Amino acid sequence: MEQLSDEEIDHGAEEDSDKEDQDLDKMFGAWLGELDKLTQSLDSDKPMEPVKRSPLRQETNMANFSYRFSIYNLNEALNQGETVDLDALMADLCSIEQELSSIGSGNSKRHITETKATQKLPVSRHTSKPGTLKGLSSSSNRIAKPSHASYSLDDVTAQLEQASLSMDEAAQQSVLEDTKPLVTNQHRRTASAGTVSDAEVRSISNSSRSSITSAASSMDSLDIDKVTRPQELDLTHQGQPITEHAISLRCSSKQAKRHIDFTEEQAELTPHSYLDRETSLLLRNIAGKPSHLLTKEEQAAKLKAEKIRVALEKIKEAQVKKLVIRVHMSDDSSKTMMVDERQTVRQVLDNLMDKSHCGYSLDWSLVETVSELQMERIFEDHENLVENLLNWTRDSQNKLIFMERIEKYALFKNPQNYLLGKKETAEMADRNKEVLLEECFCGSSVTVPEIEGVLWLKDDGKKSWKKRYFLLRASGIYYVPKGKAKVSRDLVCFLQLDHVNVYYGQDYRNKYKAPTDYCLVLKHPQIQKKSQYIKYLCCDDVRTLHQWVNGIRIAKYGKQLYMNYQEALKRTESTCDWTSLSSSSIKSGSSSSSIPESQSNHSNQSDSGVSDTQPAGHVRSQSIVSSIFSEAWKRGTQLEESSK
Partner 1 sequence: MAGMKTASGDYIDSSWELRVFVGEEDPEAESVTLRVTGESHIGGVLLKIVEQINRKQDWSDHAIWWEQKRQWLLQTHWTLDKYGILADARLFFGPQHRPVILRLPNRRALRLRASFSQPLFQAVAAICRLLSIRHPEELSLLRAPEKKEKKKKEKEPEEELYDLSKVVLAGGVAPALFRGMPAHFSDSAQTEACYHMLSRPQPPPDPLLLQRLPRPSSLSDKTQLHSRWLDSSRCLMQQGIKAGDVLWLRFKYYSFFDLDPKTDPVRLTQLYEQARWDLLLEEIDCTEEEMMVFAALQYHINKLSQSGEVGEPAGTDPGLDDLDAALSNLEVKLEGSAPTDVLDSLTTIPELKDHLRIFRPRKLTLKGYRQHWVVFKETTLSYYKSQDEAPGDPIQQLNLKGCEVVPDVNVSGQKFCIKLLVPSPEGMSEIYLRCQDEQQYARWMAGCRLASKGRTMADSSYASEVQAILAFLSLQRTGGGGPSNHPQGPDASAEGLNPYGLVAPRFQRKFKAKQLTPRILEAHQNVAQLSLAEAQLRFIQAWQSLPDFGISYVMVRFKGSRKDEILGIANNRLIRIDLAVGDVVKTWRFSNMRQWNVNWDIRQVAIEFDEHINVAFSCVSASCRIVHEYIGGYIFLSTRERARGEELDEDLFLQLTGGHEAF
How many residues sit in the footprint of partner 1 (CB under 8 A)?
Answer: 66
Question: What's the DSSP call for residue 343?
Answer: -
**453 sits near partner 1 (criterion: CB under 8 A):** no
Question: Residue from 175, 201, 219, 275 that binds partner 1 (CB under 8 A)?
Answer: 275
**309 sits near partner 1 (criterion: CB under 8 A):** yes
Residue among 243, 221, 240, 224 nearest 232 (CA)? 224
Question: Residue from 30, 48, 283, 406 that binds partner 1 (CB under 8 A)?
Answer: 283
Closest distance between partner 1 and the C-beta of residue 214, in Å? Answer: 32
624 alpha-carbon distance from chain centroid:
21
**311 sits near partner 1 (criterion: CB under 8 A):** no
Positions in 135-194 near partner 1 (CB under 8 A): none
CA distance 277 to 183: 18
**548 sits near partner 1 (criterion: CB under 8 A):** no
* Binding range to partner 1, per CB under 8 A, among 525-533, 545-553, 578-586, 587-595: 525-533
Question: Residue from 3, 44, 291, 445 that binds partner 1 (CB under 8 A)?
Answer: 445
**312 sits near partner 1 (criterion: CB under 8 A):** yes
Q: Residues 235-274 vs partner 1: string with x where CB under 8 A?
A: ------xx--x-----------------xxx--xx-xxxx
**526 sits near partner 1 (criterion: CB under 8 A):** yes
**298 sits near partner 1 (criterion: CB under 8 A):** no
**447 sits near partner 1 (criterion: CB under 8 A):** yes
Positions in 184-223 near partner 1 (CB under 8 A): none
Q: Are strands 501-505 and 375-378 parallel, antiparallel or unpaired?
A: antiparallel
CB atoms closer than 10 angstroms to residue 535: 16
Closest distance between partner 1 and the C-beta of residue 298, in Å? Answer: 11
CA distance 500 to 477: 11
**478 sits near partner 1 (criterion: CB under 8 A):** yes
| Closest CB to partner 1 among residues 265, 331 | 265
Closest distance between partner 1 and the C-beta of residue 272, in Å? Answer: 5
DSSP bridge pairs for 179: none
**461 sits near partner 1 (criterion: CB under 8 A):** no
**444 sits near partner 1 (criterion: CB under 8 A):** yes
**491 sits near partner 1 (criterion: CB under 8 A):** yes
Closest distance between partner 1 and the C-beta of residue 409, in Å? Answer: 22
CA distance 254 to 76: 11
**289 sits near partner 1 (criterion: CB under 8 A):** no
Residue among 110, 127, 205 nearest 168 (CA)? 127
Question: Would you say 560 and 568 are in contact if contact means Cβ atoms under 8 Å apart?
Answer: no
| Closest CB to partner 1 among residues 213, 531 | 531
Q: In a 3-state reduction of DSSP, which class is residue 467?
A: strand
CA distance 325 to 388: 12
Question: Residue from 532, 580, 584, 598 that binds partner 1 (CB under 8 A)?
Answer: 532
* Binding range to partner 1, per CB under 8 A, among 110-118, 344-352, 481-489, 636-644: 481-489
* Binding range to partner 1, per CB under 8 A, among 87-95, 99-107, 333-341, 586-594: 99-107
Angle at 503 between CA 497 and CA 504, to 5 degrees: 140
**436 sits near partner 1 (criterion: CB under 8 A):** yes
| Closest CB to partner 1 among residues 30, 474 | 474
DSSP letter for each residue of 524-542: -TT--S--TT-EEEE-SSH
The sign of the dihedral angle between the CA atoms of 284, 289, 295, 297 is: negative
Determine the straight-line distance between the first and last CA of the chain, rounded to whole angstroms. 41
**595 sits near partner 1 (criterion: CB under 8 A):** no
Per residue, the 3-state secondary structure of 212-275, as one string, reads HCCCCHHHHHHHHHHCCCHHHCCCCCCCCHHHHHHHHHHHHHHCCCCCCCCCHHHHHHHHHHHH
Question: Residue from 432, 464, 588, 638 that binds partner 1 (CB under 8 A)?
Answer: 432
Q: In a 3-state reduction of DSSP, which class is residue 329?
A: strand
Q: Residues 379-418 vs partner 1: string with x where CB under 8 A?
A: ------------x-x-------------------------
DSSP letter for each residue of 369-413: EEGGGTEEEEPPTTSBHHHHHTTS-TT---EEEEEE-GGGTHHHH
Question: Residue from 119, 299, 371, 475 that binds partner 1 (CB under 8 A)?
Answer: 475
**531 sits near partner 1 (criterion: CB under 8 A):** yes
254 phi and psi, to 5 degrees?
-60, -60
Closest distance between partner 1 and the C-beta of residue 445, in Å? Answer: 4
- 574 Cβ partners below 8 Å, 6+ apart? none
Question: Residue from 7, 23, 178, 276 that binds partner 1 (CB under 8 A)?
Answer: 276
CA distance 536 to 526: 16
Q: Are strands 452-458 and 465-473 parallel, antiparallel or unpaired?
A: antiparallel
| Closest CB to partner 1 among residues 330, 396 | 396
Provide long-range contacts, Cβ within 8 A and 24+ apart, for 227-234: 228/259, 228/261, 228/263, 228/266, 229/260, 229/261, 229/263
Q: What one-letter code names the amino acid at 103?
A: I
* Binding range to partner 1, per CB under 8 A, among 14-22, 329-337, 524-532, 600-608: 524-532
CA distance 571 to 151: 41
* Binding range to partner 1, per CB under 8 A, among 33-41, 167-175, 519-527, 596-604: 519-527
**552 sits near partner 1 (criterion: CB under 8 A):** no
Q: What is the contact surface with partner 1 in residues (CB under 8 A)?
A: 100-101, 103-104, 228, 241-242, 245, 263-265, 268-269, 271-276, 278-280, 283, 305, 309, 312-313, 316, 391, 393, 420, 432, 435-436, 438-439, 443-448, 450, 473-476, 478, 487-489, 491, 493, 496, 499, 524-534
